[in-house]
Amino acid sequence: MFNLFPIILGFIAGSTVAFGSIIVTARKFGKTKLGYLAAFTGGILSYLALDTGSGAEEIVNNFLISNEYKSFLVSLIITSIGFLATWISLSLFERNDQSLVVSMGLGFHNIGEGFAIAAALLAGSISSAWAFTIGFAVHNMTEGFAISTPSFINRNKVSIIRLIILSLIAGLPTALGASIYYLGISNQIFLALLDVVASASLVYVMVKINISAASLLGGFKTKFWTWIFIGVAITYGLESLLTFLGMT
pLDDT at 1: 47
Number of domains making up the chain: 1
Phi-psi region of 182 (alpha: psi -120 to 50; beta: other; left: phi over 0): alpha
Neighbours of 26 (CB within 10 A): 9
Report the interhelical angle of 31-65 vs 222-244 (nearest 10°): 50
Containing structural domain, residue 122: 5-244
Residues 6+ positions from 60 with CB-CB distance below 8 Å: 72, 75, 76, 79, 192
* pLDDT tens by residue, 100-152: 777 877 787 778 677 777 767 776 767 667 767 876 786 677 777 777 777 66
Residues 6+ positions from 138 with CB-CB distance below 8 Å: 16, 238
Q: How far apart are CA 189 and CA 74, in angstroms?
A: 8
Element (H, E) at 11: helix 5-15
Residues 6+ positions from 44 with CB-CB distance below 8 Å: 142, 143, 145, 146, 231, 232, 234, 235
pLDDT above 70 for 95: no
* pLDDT tens by residue, 176-209: 878 877 776 567 888 888 788 878 877 877 887 8
Report the interhelical angle of 98-122 vs 5-15 (nearest 10°): 140
Q: What angle do CA 141, 142, 144 make, to 5 degrees?
A: 70
